A and B are shown apart, each in its own frame.
Chain A
């Protein structure tokens, strides 16, 4: 079956540091890949997506590139802010629309 493995957290960074959260997946076919974010006290919301190999999803300064050869979709941001503190989930949807989520990575950014 499909699976998503995320870098274990928690991750603590200083403001303006570079962020990478690793995500690898196992799936048959050609899934779509997503990053979702959950801010404290809020529901999950879509951060970015990529739907085919070599696509780069981007939003709010975050980026992730769909790498089929390494089955990865690592999340990056060049300069994090305190407001980026949240839990980040990597996910995939297969061709039937069924979704599989990673366990989440908690990011804390300190001023």
Chain B
């Protein structure tokens, strides 16, 4: 296992369409995090899972955003009815350490036209 992977790496979509991103964490890690990052800003926390349980989702940006981790392995982040303001880099990270150090994937860059 070489690290956290994300798919796709780039997504261009038209406003109003739905998009889904996938994250595969490091296999032995039980925690998985989703962040959004815009230019010049640090990662903005969206949600996280411990195994299949979603521990925090209040930071999801609106009810158009949802995330799942059905079997405690990979996770998906869905954005419904995309808006131009959703254009950003979406980062996934996983953690298995006692002190929650995180290992990041390469990100999915979303462009909404």
Contact = CB atoms under 8 A, between A and B. Distances in A.
8 contacts: A4-B42, A44-B104, A45-B103, A96-B55, A97-B100, A98-B56, A102-B42, A103-B40
Classify the secondary structure of A's interface with B: strand
Given A97-B48, A98-B48, A99-B33, A89 B43 contact: yes
Given A43-B105, A46-B102, A100-B45, 12 more contacts: A42-B106, A44-B91, A89-B43, A93-B99, A93-B100, A96-B56, A99-B43, A99-B45, A99-B100, A102-B42, A103-B42, A104-B40
Interface size class of A (residues with CB under 8 A): 20 to 34
Nearest to A46: B101
Interface residues of B, number: 25
Interface in B13-48: 31, 33, 35, 40-45, 48
Classify the secondary structure of B's interface with A: strand
The 7 A-B residue pairs with the shortest CB-CB distance, nearest first, are A101-B42, A93-B100, A44-B104, A32-B99, A97-B100, A43-B106, A51-B99
